[in-house]
Structure 1
Amino acid sequence: MHDLLLEHQDALSFDDLVGYARQLHLDAERFTRDVTERRFAGRVARDVDGADMSGAGGTPTFFINGRRHHGAFDLATLTAAVRATGARAAYTG
């Protein structure tokens, strides 16, 4: 489901979500009931609050050693950022 939601960020209506559940062979009736009864609303709200507090304004957002990464997110850039963080940690160690 995660991958479908990321691939279709512009198509997240209730009907779209139920369609994704069916596409993944999930129990669409249970999915519909859980959504309409707001079964996981508290958990979603906590996740949104956590994202807001950490400064994650969208996807993807990367954190390296607890700090938000503000640069590009290609493999080479992220690898360099992780190595730089490791070097700083070793230096201040």
Structure 2
Amino acid sequence: MATLRYRATAKVLCDECQSQKDQKRRFDTKCTNCKWLRYENVNNLLTFRDFLNRQFPNWVFFNVFKYIKGKDGERLASYQKGKNEPTSKEV
């Protein structure tokens, strides 16, 4: 049986936007210094969340897409840090 495979994109804030967020102020959502990360092979959402917490503590949200080789696929879910983080390893 094949394992489920997802594609994920995550937004990581730059230091300036993170300081704005820490002060409970609005930050620029289209900031060019913030990073978008794209991962092609995500099998477990819980370990992916833990990976983001460990490697990129400034992540804000990530979107999960259906994996279709060579295509973008449809968006299945969106998760925010501290609000609606994934509770199971699959969507």
If the TM-score is normalised by the length of the shorter chain, which range does it land in?
under 0.3
For the pair shown, the structure with the greater C-alpha radius of gyration is 1
TM-score, structure 2 as length reference: 0.20
- From the two aligned structures, give the one with the greater helix fraction: 1
The higher relative CO (CA closer than 8 Å, separation ≥ 6) is in 2
TM-score, structure 1 as length reference: 0.20
